[in-house]
Chain A
Amino acid sequence: LAKTTQPISMDSYEGQEVNITCSHNNIATNDYITWYQQFPSQGPRFIIQGYKTKVTNEVASLFIPADRKSSTLSLPRVSLSDTAVYYCLVPLYSGAGSYQLTFGKGTKLSVIP
């Protein structure tokens, strides 16, 4: 059964770098891995997307190894406002030549003053 795996929760002090890893099997060959941030009672918000190696934008970096069986979201110097749930979104093989977009169960990041 294709699935993704993320740590359930993480704690970090303000100003530290946080790395959250998502492991996934049976990822589609040609599609991207996407990470989202979600605050309570809101829809997920796009953070970053990548296919392989490293991608960086103004808020995060994304590291994807050559085998693409995992990805690591890196948040530099977190602040209290980064307290949220972080999800990876991965297209996983679901049988009979088809792929299904699959969210991880999410990692609840708590930033401590």
Chain B
Amino acid sequence: DTGVSQNPRHKITKRGQNVTFRCDPISEHNRLYWYRQTLGQGPEFLTYFQNEAQLEKSRLLSDRFSAERPKGSFSTLEIQRTEQGDSAMYLCASSLALGYSNTDTQYFGPGTRLTVL
């Protein structure tokens, strides 16, 4: 399977714990996006990378959220001191961006469902 993969698929944690999610994009894709999706809502953009550079992070929900893409390949999203309101599906997408277009075709992974107790 050469699509976008995310691990874990499900994560249950207690309030106050830190969690980290991983996304492996399609291999030749240079852009990687993170979204959060709550029940009944569309995906909410969090941040994105072009290669290893994080080009937009102002939409990260708070300073408890951080993302990295150290070698321009896989990425991690970390949430520190989780709160019950962080419970959601966290989606990753990748794309092959040519130039500086904002609407390259994104291919999504299956998501990581986080439940904070």
Which A residues lie at the B interface, using CB under 8 A?
Answer: 28, 30-34, 36, 41-46, 49, 87, 89, 91, 99-106
Contacts and interface: CB of A to CB of B under 8 A. Distances in A.
A103 B4 contact: no
Query: Would you call the interface of chain A mostly helix, strand, loop, or mixed?
Result: strand
Contact of A45 (B43, B102, B108): B108
B32 to A, nearest CB: 13
A43 B108 contact: yes
Contacts of A41: 110-111, 113
B4 A32 contact: no
A100 B35 CA distance: 12
Contact of A43 (B42, B101, B109): B109
Contacts of A30: 101
B64 interface: no
A28 B111 contact: no
A103 B91 CA distance: 13
B44 A103 contact: yes
